[in-house]
Amino acid sequence: MNLAQLGLVEQSIFVFAALALLLSFLLLFQGRLTAMVHVFAWQGFLLALLTATVASVEHSHHLFLSAALTLMLKGLMIPWMLHRLIRKLHLERHQERLQHQALVMMAGAGLVIFSYWVVLPIARLELANTRNIVALSLAIVQLGMLLMVARRQVVAQVIGFMSMENGLFLAAVAATYGMPLVVELGIAFDVLVAAILFGVFFFHIRDSIESLDVDQLTQLSEEER
């Protein structure tokens, strides 16, 4: 596939998806929570833009709706909620010391290659240009998981969780022009409820272990109890 042969619209879709992946790497790298929330908001914004582009090509009303929903939910509402929580928990200046930073970034690059490898058999089917986007979205999902593994701070873990959700949304929009409307609304509802519950949990965790570091959550294990 040659990028230059594609139309302007396809090219811009690729650029948006690639930028979203880049933002995932930024999330992985960023130690300050408020900055992470901003990066996450930008990712949501890019996804909304991408969805709107696809919608205008496909003349699909329901994709426009889901673009608006994404913008509202992931670009504005969830970042706003996270900001408020960070202020309430007095974490504005919280800066996490990232451990094994180089290693994590290398692992991230490895995951991107892995995603391309997983999607390789689909590419052989020559089903349009979807291969790249499916691989990119899988990479965003994997990077979200890596972020959750690498970070010890609960708010950072939640941002990782939400960026995984972004990757899934990208897969749905790019590969299949969005899921059926019922499903999309259902997913949006679940994401919203999850975001609210996470907020509740921050306070529970802080009240029970007086910290927001998951390394302190070690009561339950198979070791001698």
- Residue 4 CB, shortest distance to other proteins, in Å, is 26
In SS3 terms, 59-100 reads as CCHHHHHHHHHHHHHHHHHHHHHHHHHHHHCCCCCCECCCCC
Q: 144 CB contacts (<8 Å, ≥6 apart)?
A: 24, 160, 161, 162, 163, 164, 165, 166, 167
Among 88, 103, 189, 213, binds other proteins (CB under 8 A): 189
- Examine residue 197 and tell whether it contacts other proteins (CB under 8 A): yes
Among 59, 90, 97, 124, binds other proteins (CB under 8 A): 124
Euclidean distance between CA atoms 20 and 26, whole angstroms: 10
- The neighbouring-strand residues paired with 95 are 32
Among 10, 168, 199, 213, binds other proteins (CB under 8 A): 168
- Examine residue 175 and tell whether it contacts other proteins (CB under 8 A): yes
Among 17, 66, 85, 165, binds other proteins (CB under 8 A): 165
Q: 56 CB contacts (<8 Å, ≥6 apart)?
A: 9
| Cβ-based nearer residue to other proteins, 80 or 203 | 203
SS3 178: coil
| Cβ-based nearer residue to other proteins, 18 or 209 | 209
- Examine residue 201 and tell whether it contacts other proteins (CB under 8 A): yes
What character string, x for contact with other proteins (CB under 8 A) and - otherwise, covers 203-222? -xx-xxx----x--xxxx-x
Euclidean distance between CA atoms 34 and 83, whole angstroms: 7
- Examine residue 55 and tell whether it contacts other proteins (CB under 8 A): no
Would you say 147 and 156 are in contact if contact means Cβ atoms under 8 Å apart?
yes
Give the footprint of other proteins on this chain (CB under 8 A).
118-119, 121-122, 124-125, 127, 130, 134, 137-138, 141, 145, 148, 154, 157, 161, 164-165, 167-168, 171-172, 175-176, 179-180, 182-183, 186-187, 189-190, 193-194, 197-198, 200-201, 204-205, 207-209, 214, 217-220, 222, 225
